[in-house]
Amino acid sequence: MASSLPPRLAAALASGLDHFSLAAIDWHGRLRAKQLSITELPAAFDAGVAMTSAIFATDSAERPIDTGRFQNPANGYRDAQLRADARAIYGDAFGHSPDSLLVLGSLVDAHRAFCPRAMLERELAALGALGFTAFGAYEYEFHLLRETPESLRDKAPSQLTRLPELSRMYSYVDQSLLTPLLGELREAVKRAGFALESVHAEFSGLLEAALAPAMDVAIADRAVVFKAIAKTLARQHGLLAVFMARVADGFESAGAHLNLSLRRNEQPSFADAAAPDRLSLSLRHFIGGLQRYTPELTLLHLPYLNSSKRFAGPSFAPQVNAWGIDNKTCAWRVVNASPGLTRIECRLPGADVHPHLCLAAVLAAGRRGLEEALTPTPAVVGDAATSPHRAVPFPLQFEQTIANWRASAFAREIFGEAFVEAYAESRDWQLALLRNTVTDFDLRQFGECV
């Protein structure tokens, strides 16, 4: 029987492993896991195991969303069923043995409508009906700070302490000083079962890690696992790995670039050697869909009040719904150095983005572009901010982002009425909290002078 099991699962069982971790993914892209006896493994892959629906009841700071439907006693705080996915068996990078397992799953039955992973699976199935599979990876920028969760809450942003080893862009010396930590990061990711293509110091204290590409749902699964590994390893070193879009003035904003291509019959679909720019019609139609429908789905790319602050001041964050070849001022940067690597780099999301919801939004918009044969604007050469070649702008005010999402028939078609409303309610909650919170800005601005 063991020979028919996935290799990592078979090895773990042969090693005498006594437990495994089974994880769902909440609306913030966090792993919500249970440690289960290995005897529960068959049930996990069959009917699933109970997982509290309260994983959708809290905001990003773990406060209950009092106005949300999952914090409502009228719903009975019912359990959901979490079913393990044989495609998502990872090594537990911090487990007690080399064969420790982390298995991801999706919610089934009534709660499937609220499960980010299930929504991505549904969109991948729709893409598959057109004959395509997705191939790609996330590239994360994030800060490493000499802080703790407690110190982070007690400090004003200007008081945060960054690592001096990350003060210079692409510095070989600085990265050499971080060799032990970066080596541990690569090894932990390897124990999970995939790899980092690169890691380096970016601008103003950022660390950038590019994940190795994967197919379909694994594109997002690996991103979630990577973030959990980075956060755990940082805490072990007395640091915080911070994936906020914008931490403070003087800190570079942090993006999460999604590099994506489509394949048909295992062959790249975005390249065409006969075209003048070597780009296929499929790629053009996909970009046409991104430009047409992403403004309605921007909430899934910029999911927090802090997200749009990434676009303030000098920043590499693209504010323009335009595309161009190797043009980082565009939201949709096309890389076509070689046919097999021709891809779209989606530069709109920040490091705080939900990998599954973001990928689902990109695939849904692009798929509709393929179905409707949508024509994109002309490719931009030079600064996209000054180019007339742009589509409908992205809403960068949080209230408008929520309103666009709520009003979108396309969002309701793709993600379902129940999720659109529930997700919007969870974002309204952020606005309500901010309105009722006295901030350090309030004290500086009004404390002595009014």
Q: Residue 3 has what pLDDT?
A: 46
Q: Which residues, listed in sequence order, are joined to residue 136 by a DSSP beta bridge?
A: 214, 260
pLDDT score, position 313: 67
* CA-based nearest residue to 220, from 185, 262, 259: 259
Domain spans, the chain:
2-114, 127-415
Q: Does domain 2-114 have CATH number 3.10.20.70?
A: yes
User: Is the Cβ–Cβ distance between 270 and 287 less than 8 Å?
Assistant: no
Q: Is the pLDDT of residue 193 over 90?
A: yes
> 101-108 and 240-242 as β-strands: parallel, antiparallel, unpaired?
unpaired
- DSSP H/E element including 51: strand 49-52
Each residue's pLDDT tens digit, 90-124: 999 998 888 899 999 999 999 999 999 999 999 99
pTM of the model: 0.95
The answer as to CATH 3.30.590.10 being correct for domain 127-415 is yes
Mean pLDDT (the chain) is 93
Choose among 344, 347, 335: nearest CA to 277.
Answer: 335
pLDDT at 1: 38
HSE value, Cβ hemisphere, 13 Å, CA-based, for 215: 12
Structure tokens at 102: 């982390």
Q: Please indicate whether residue 167 or residue 36 has the higher confidence score (pLDDT).
A: 36
20-29, 160-169, 310-319, 345-354: least confidently modelled range: 310-319
Average pLDDT of the residues in 296-312 = 95
Angle at 206 between CA 205 and CA 208, to 5 degrees: 150
Is the pLDDT assigned to residue 386 strictly greater than 60? Answer: yes
